[in-house]
Structure 1
Amino acid sequence: MTIDRGFPAPPALVEHARRFRASGAVPAVPRVAATVLLLRPADAGFEVYLIRRVAAMAFGGMYAFPGGGVDPSDSTTHLDWAGPTPADWGGRLGLAPSQAVVCAAAREVFEEAGVLLAGPDATRVVGDVSGDGWEAVRVDLEQRRTGFADLLARRGLTIRSDLLLPWSRWVTPEFEPRRFDTYFFVALLPEGQRTRDVSGEADHTLWIRPAEAGRQVAAGELTMLPPTLVTLREIAACTDLDAVAAAAADRDAVTPITPRLDLSDPDRPRFHLP
């Protein structure tokens, strides 16, 4: 997707870039990560779930989708698995082994949004997980007192990897001190579940139509980085959730996209896409 005008660059990131270029430092190695666009039906279309990262975090103050880095436990534990096999996922993502990033996507959306993409078997999804017992489990997971596979095993649940649809892959620019190689997925909010503002990493959440989010960004009411904004524009081109699923089937989730920061005009720094 080509955006000729580029994207305005937040001042804090511009300063990061200038300091990095002046220092001659070696770029940090990107950490593999996963993020999930949770979608739900709405009148004449659908909505997407956004969270605003707390200011103290990397990319703080920006609206984004639930997600985070792959944890060592995402790849070292066995868990019951439904949907495409890890080998199938490896071919789709160009990543082997692939269990870790798919597991991280499901784990992070539970940690940050209280939504669990798992069920008692390969055809069902668990219902409401907002009760006190589930919340205690979610906090233990977030605090790394338990692992995602252990959580599912104790509850007799299977990860529903078929509920995740790969969309794209973005890599943080080289000047950032914390870099991520992030796989983007889309997922429909399971029936009977609801998002909850539970993660300490977010200070605001909202459901919004993708096109409306784009309008609010243009009006300066929401702030987000190119990966989030471009992805919103892409899914906004889909008329309904069936169209999103159809588009996901043909998406390139292997080739990484890295925004380029253009500082040639000091008064108007812009991000551009390759």
Structure 2
Amino acid sequence: MRGRVEDVLSGRVPPAVPRDAATVAVLRDHDRHGLQVFLLRRVSSMAFAPGAYVFPGGSVDPRDGDADLAWAGPPPAHWGAAFRADDGLARELVCAAVRETFEESLVLLAGPAPDTVVDDTHGADWEQDRQALLDRSLSLAGLLARRGLVLRSDLLRPWGHWITPAVEPKRYDTRFFVAAMPAGQRARDVSTESDHAVWARPDEAAERAMAGEWPMLPPTLATLAELAEFRTVADVLAASRTVVPYEPRAEIIDGDPYLVLPGAPDA
């Protein structure tokens, strides 16, 4: 790690270009436990963050920018303003958020009309659609069109923006969303990239991470700490957020490499 840090800081090795990505903290209100968030544990064989607890999400696919996709709710320009992105990238980020969440948990933020949402995504036909998304034989736009559904961007809220440190060989420029678990749907661990799924209170998940029980990347831990300040899903969705990018930096301190979290986000 020290050699990699020194090579990047000296300019001998150029930083990898980060890939645009989106992730969604899916939330629910539990009768006894209060506010909970859905987390997946990545399998130990993954090249990036093996064994880490994460929210559903992943990289933007080129077809996420399909302009023919049926869309309800705030337009791409709204998301572009929130995430400092042009309209094209903003559309891709929202579509990636919806697609990846469905691929990894079967939670689908879409409905037959602009004011409705799918109430059940289980069954062999839905699994076939999920597999088609994964092997790229079907796009999100194609899935929605075939089922007569509309993407519900109004079910999402912008929450955060984290960029993988420049010293990492695999980097992501990730926008974080939050969303309420749609009524009637049930989140499941269906991703081949994870081996365990759990609903947990944000404060409990953060405590387990700090205790070393649940490995977590800093963006996930920071997001959980923020969510722990709220009592209900409605409180989270009503929160006013100004999203600014965080990018931890690498430093050599007393001869050892460290990743340093920014004291304040870049303006």
* Residue matched to 2:101: 109
* Residue matched to 2:152: 160
Do residues 74 (structure 1) and 64 (structure 2) align?
yes
Unpaired segments of 5 or more residues in structure 1?
A: 1-12
* Residue matched to 1:47: 36
1:84-111 deviation per Cα after TM superposition (whole angstroms, max 9, x unaligned): 0112222222211211100000000000
**SS of residue paired to 2:196:** strand
- The CA distance in 2 between the partners of 1:35 and 1:77, in whole Å, is 21
* Residue matched to 2:45: 56
- The CA distance in 1 between the partners of 2:38 and 2:200, in whole Å, is 7
Do residues 261 (structure 1) and 250 (structure 2) align?
yes
* Residue matched to 2:117: 125
**SS of residue paired to 1:244:** helix
- The CA distance in 1 between the partners of 2:11 and 2:247, in whole Å, is 21
TM-score (norm 2): 0.91
Corresponding letter in the other structure for 1:48: V
**SS of residue paired to 1:212:** helix
* Residue matched to 1:201: 193
Unpaired segments of 5 or more residues in structure 2?
A: none
Contact 1:172 1:258 in 2 (8 A): yes
- The CA distance in 2 between the partners of 1:149 and 1:264, in whole Å, is 49
* Residue matched to 2:74: 84
TM-score (norm 1): 0.89
Query: CA distance change for structure 1 residues 85 and 193 in 2, over 3 Å: closer, same or farther?
Result: same
Percentage identity across paired residues of the two chains: 49
Query: CA distance change for structure 1 residues 144 and 124 in 2, over 3 Å: closer, same or farther?
Result: same
Cα offset for 1:267? 6.7
- The CA distance in 1 between the partners of 2:220 and 2:49, in whole Å, is 12
Cα offset for 1:20? 4.6
- The CA distance in 1 between the partners of 2:117 and 2:194, in whole Å, is 26
1:25-44 to structure 2, matched below 5 A, reads 25-42=13-30, 43=32
Moved over 3 A (4+): 13-23, 265-271
Contact 1:259 1:273 in 2 (8 A): yes
1:165-184 deviation per Cα after TM superposition (whole angstroms, max 9, x unaligned): 00011111001111111110
Corresponding letter in the other structure for 1:52: R
- The CA distance in 1 between the partners of 2:84 and 2:150, in whole Å, is 24
Indicate the larger mover: 92-101 or 106-115: 92-101
Query: CA distance change for structure 1 residues 16 and 192 in 2, over 3 Å: closer, same or farther?
Result: farther
Cα offset for 1:19? 6.2
Indicate the larger mover: 261-270 or 148-157: 261-270
